[in-house]
Amino acid sequence: MEKICIVHYGEIGIKGKNRDFFERKLVENIRRFAKAKRRYGWIEVEYRDGIEERLKKVPGIRYFGIGYKTELEIEAIKDATLRTLPEKFETFKISASRRNKKFPLNSIEVNRVIGSFVIEKTGKKVDLENPDVTVWIEIGNEALVYSQRLEGIGGLPVGTAGKVVSLVSGGIDSPVASFLAMKRGCEVVLVHFFNKTLHSENVRRKIHMIAERLAEYQGSIKLYMVPFEEVQLEIIRIVPPKLRMVVYRRSMMRMANAIAEKEEAKAIVTGDNISQVASQTLENLNVIYSASKLAVLPPLLGFDKEEIIAIAKKIGTYEISILPYEDCCSLMVAKHPETKAKLEIVKEFEEFEDLEKNAVEKAEVFEFHS
């Protein structure tokens, strides 16, 4: 009998002929911190202290159990069941499933036999509706028995959808957008634009903290810190205040595309949410996104602010995001910004190609590992 982690996936299971690719990628991602093996319909992971917190942060895992792998013998299953029960409980439920039809007992019979055994050994009662503890028993090529079942992130393994560049600020939204891209299988490269004349070391530290937290979900992550002051000053000098934010964001799109080309990324991710601020009207987003040669993906499109904050708190970026910092966007915000920018008008002010190229070349690159 061996104590192990029993990892189950969700969406991967319906991938048909591509299922093997997704399973292998999930195992590869888990192997960054633990031994893992593919099994039929599940993944076996070596148990060790602290493994639960690591597995909770791996995209592609729907849920996992901490329990025992044992022989296909009813006495061994009984023994494993006693081992997996907590010290204190009053009611219980046995939930068996049988993939291996050669096993002599069906799932209902396993429930009955093991349930009677637990009553005999512990004197506790069965409660099928609201038990204190549920013991799951999976009958396959071996028997898996566990009562500790923890939820995972779900989604798809990082790296199955390709690489993207994600624009990350010090705010709440963009780290959540980056996380959601990871959850859909994207390998994320972070890009942050900063102004050295405004930004203190505290700001740099804050962006690094966000990158470090997101690395916990991806395994490792790369961050580009792009110096933006020269481009910013030129925009302030020649662009009317009401158009500055749109021009500014189009410039960021072009530089993000240049970094994406270096990284062989396939798309740009943003923290945009329709109509949350003036630059996020549909008219302005059309103008901003047209500066990108690559597809622009806004994962927060269907979320309201409370939902975004809830995700930020869940993944651990919220407390970092609300730390005070000097935002390089603040100089761009006009009292009455344009909400329906015209592309032909905006283009008249865009003469920053050399400055943008220089900024990308000067970018500092950092790598963070979980």
What is the model's pLDDT at position 303?
94
Model pTM score: 0.92
What is the model's pLDDT at position 330?
53
Cα gap 272→279, rounded to integer Å = 9
CA-based nearest residue to 37, from 134, 142, 181:
142
Please give the radius of gyration of the chain, using alpha carbons only, rounded to the nearest integer.
26
Which residue's structure tokens are 């904050």?
309
Phi, psi of 369 (to 5 degrees): -125, 140
Cα gap 137→8, rounded to integer Å = 14
What is the model's pLDDT at position 333?
60
What is the model's pLDDT at position 197?
64
Cα gap 119→114, rounded to integer Å = 9
Helix ranges, the chain (H): 19-30, 51-55, 74-84, 107-122, 173-183, 201-218, 229-238, 244-263, 282-289, 305-315, 318-321, 343-347, 353-361
CATH of 2-151, one of 3.30.1300.10, 3.30.2130.30, 2.130.10.10, 3.10.180.10: 3.30.2130.30
Residue ranges, CATH 3.30.2130.30, the chain: 2-151
Cα gap 344→301, rounded to integer Å = 26
Which amino acid is residue 364, in one-letter code? E
Rounded (10°) CA dihedral 121, 127, 132, 136 = 70
Per-residue tokens: 244: 């500055």
Rounded (10°) CA dihedral 35, 40, 41, 42 = -20
CB 368 within 8 A of CB 221: yes
27-36 pLDDT, tens digit each: 999 999 999 9
pLDDT digit string (tens) for the chain, length 370 residues: 899 999 999 888 777 889 999 999 999 999 999 999 999 889 999 999 999 999 999 999 999 999 999 999 999 999 999 999 999 999 999 999 999 999 999 999 999 999 999 999 999 999 999 999 999 999 999 999 999 999 999 999 999 999 999 999 999 999 999 999 999 999 999 999 998 766 578 889 999 999 999 999 999 999 999 999 999 999 999 999 999 999 999 999 999 999 999 999 999 999 999 887 778 899 999 999 999 999 999 999 989 999 999 999 999 999 999 998 665 555 556 567 778 999 999 999 998 999 999 999 999 999 999 8
CA-based nearest residue to 235, from 300, 100, 145, 329:
329
What is the model's pLDDT at position 305?
94
HSE value, Cβ hemisphere, 13 Å, CA-based, for 292 = 25
Any idea how long the chain is? Answer: 370
Chain-centroid distance of CA 205 in Å reads: 22
**C-beta contacts of 339-344 below 8 A and 24+ residues apart:** 339/278, 339/281, 339/283, 339/284, 340/281, 340/283, 340/284, 341/243, 341/246, 341/283, 341/284, 341/287, 342/287, 343/286, 343/287, 343/290
Task: End-to-end CA distance of the chain: give it in Å, rounded.
Answer: 31
What is the model's pLDDT at position 196?
73
Quick one: the chain helix, strand, coil %, rounded to 5? 40, 25, 35
Superfamily name with CATH number, domain 162-369: HUPs (3.40.50.620)
What is the model's pLDDT at position 335?
66
Rounded (10°) CA dihedral 18, 24, 25, 28 = 180
CA-based nearest residue to 311, from 219, 178, 190, 188:
178
Residue ranges, CATH 3.40.50.620, the chain: 162-369
* Average pLDDT over all residues of the chain: 94
Rounded (10°) CA dihedral 256, 262, 264, 265 = -20
SS3 39: strand
